[in-house]
Structure 1
């Protein structure tokens, strides 16, 4: 069963077309997911082309043996950038199943010189201009969506974009992912149920397996596939937007499971860009939303450890430790 998530045209959002902008807000107040049709726009064409080239790089970099890849391991609890091998167990999975997905996280700050880079495989470093172009365009699309949401909520169009400034040190990154085919173990998990840390996630994938969990009380706990759609990216909100809007906007739980049918016998690759608040941004509810949800916990809102309000850099480190990756 496919979820009733909207398909929204990037061209229409760029033109501030009223029904498209309203649909984007509705999607983010309900499912937290929507398809973004990238056709008929220069930036959309650039992203589609770059995602295909990054897919080819993914095939190359993941084809190396584990010893080669683990030379670039990320350091858990310290940084999310680098290589994460398959087999991680996340606290968000009630069955504590090791995942079957490996990935490389490539920091926006590293490819754009905002911060000193760590080591990455040559397949990544030798294609620096491609990663620069992809991250810049993806971030720009993310800022457009955040501006549309703010405008639709009748607040300053800069309310959210001012917390996600591209030129400042942040957790923004491109992720190349590879999930092994599930030929024998049909109960294995690609990635367990989770919500994303940041503001906006922009996903390019070519194979099924992604599922989202319904926010509809009548369908509580039910999962539905989000199928890849040609020329579309899949957009979803992260927990930062839940925090900034005090639960007005949603970050849906999602997971990756064995793809249905013959797709399950094929390795799954995806290319992702994560927009996250810059490190110095304060992780607190915007003033316009502080009256919402008073006296109770907001569903999907991350509760930090300790007293006081965290910066985004501190908040992301807590999330990374909590979730195990």
Structure 2
């Protein structure tokens, strides 16, 4: 989902079954076309994923992030180990080697991460990182600011669709307050021809919204309403030049009372000749501010917890995310798509 020159350097995406994922234009979203914006809202309620075509400035920044990512992963193993993650002690930033996590079958994962907190790059907190990152803090900070401005535009569209005051959702993921928002650099090495399988287990994103950039195929989403054990129900998302993938996370499902949809997805080997190439991706995982409530928001379009017979979730986002991460790690939180409730009461163009 970056510049055409990076796509031209790799084998083309083959003719395989792909997910029905709409593509929207950022420039048109910013034009004030309410009917077009409403289509984005509908997509966030049904599929939970869409492609977003961006302008040249953002594409250049994403290309620069891939250069930084390559430099990080090319570091000597001894250097990476100095910045290793330690999930058992709650440290989810830094380097994660292949095989630390498990896939759905219990087999070791096949992805390498380097993650750093948005708070670190923007100066809210401070943690050490290798020079391959420290020397590019300005470029990374610019990318985060630019990507967040795009996310804010999308959230304003969701505000309108949910009957919320403009700026409501953006206020829950502010870059000016502490959060668990991450920028994750990811590398997937080519898999053995006779042992190709899932690289990253099926899951939903526990945050609010994700901004993902990649060039090679490999990301698959589950067809809504399907059984995740049915392999025929998984569909590749076809990467396109100058586009990012946007997807809704679990926090937005909670805040919207289940109207928005967080759809299950996974990463497997790339299709066709792309399977022989190393796959890189950049994931901006936008999560709620630690001090905001996970209670569902109030509007004429969002049903109350009492109307649904639910108990109001009275917990802060920071605590909710920690507990959810622990439950997922322990296998106590079954991976499933969330949200996408009956849309007839809310899908009305104003």
TM-score (ref. length: structure 2) = 0.82
**Is the aligned partner of 1:171 residue 2:180?**
yes
Aligned to 2:152: 143
Q: Deviations over 1:62-120 (max 9, x none)?
A: 12233321211122151322112211334xx43112111111112111111111x2121
**Is the aligned partner of 1:13 residue 2:24?**
no
RMSD across aligned C-alpha pairs, in angstroms? 2.2
Aligned equivalents of 1:313, 1:80: Cα separation in 2 = 14
Alignment of 1:78-227 (within 5 A): 78-90=90-102, 93-115=103-125, 117-216=126-225, 221=230, 222-227=233-238
Aligned equivalents of 1:220, 1:46: Cα separation in 2 = 41
* 1:185 CA displacement: 4.6
SS of the residue corresponding to residue 289 of structure 2 reads coil
In the alignment of these two chains, the number of paired residues is: 308
Aligned equivalents of 1:185, 1:220: Cα separation in 2 = 21
**Is the aligned partner of 1:311 residue 2:334?**
no
Aligned to 1:4: 20
Aligned equivalents of 1:148, 1:312: Cα separation in 2 = 22
Aligned to 1:323: 328
Aligned equivalents of 1:185, 1:175: Cα separation in 2 = 29
SS of the residue corresponding to residue 104 of structure 1 reads strand
Q: Deviations over 1:117-159 (max 9, x none)?
A: 2121110010000110001111111111111111122221222
Aligned equivalents of 2:297, 2:96: Cα separation in 1 = 34
Identify the range of structure 1 (189-198 vs 313-322) with the bigger mean alpha-carbon deviation. Answer: 313-322
Aligned equivalents of 2:226, 2:321: Cα separation in 1 = 29
Question: Measured at CA, do residues 67 and 32 of structure 1 come closer, stay the same or move farther in structure 2, by a change above 3 Å?
Answer: same
Aligned to 2:347: none
**Which of the residues 239, 244, 247 maps onto 2:255?**
244
Aligned equivalents of 1:145, 1:308: Cα separation in 2 = 25
- Does structure 1 conserve the Cα–Cα contact (< 8 Å) formed by 2:295 and 2:313? no
SS of the residue corresponding to residue 160 of structure 2 reads helix
Aligned equivalents of 1:49, 1:229: Cα separation in 2 = 15
**Which of the residues 16, 31, 53 maps onto 2:64?**
53
Identify the range of structure 1 (259-268 vs 75-84) with the bigger mean alpha-carbon deviation. Answer: 75-84
Aligned to 1:301: none
Aligned to 1:294: 308
**Which of the residues 272, 280, 288 maps onto 1:261?**
272
Aligned to 2:52: 36
TM-score (ref. length: structure 1) = 0.89
Unaligned runs of 5+ residues in structure 2 are 1-16, 331-350
Unaligned runs of 5+ residues in structure 1 are 40-44, 298-306
* 1:296 CA displacement: 7.2
Aligned equivalents of 1:186, 1:220: Cα separation in 2 = 19
Aligned equivalents of 1:169, 1:277: Cα separation in 2 = 9
Aligned to 2:286: 275
* 1:218 CA displacement: 9.6
Aligned equivalents of 1:182, 1:269: Cα separation in 2 = 14
* 1:316 CA displacement: 1.8
- Does structure 1 conserve the Cα–Cα contact (< 8 Å) formed by 2:162 and 2:256? no
Question: Measured at CA, do residues 272 and 96 of structure 1 come closer, stay the same or move farther in structure 2, by a change above 3 Å?
Answer: same
- Does structure 2 conserve the Cα–Cα contact (< 8 Å) formed by 1:88 and 1:324? no
Question: Measured at CA, do residues 290 and 66 of structure 1 come closer, stay the same or move farther in structure 2, by a change above 3 Å?
Answer: farther
Aligned equivalents of 1:203, 1:161: Cα separation in 2 = 19
* 1:57 CA displacement: 1.6
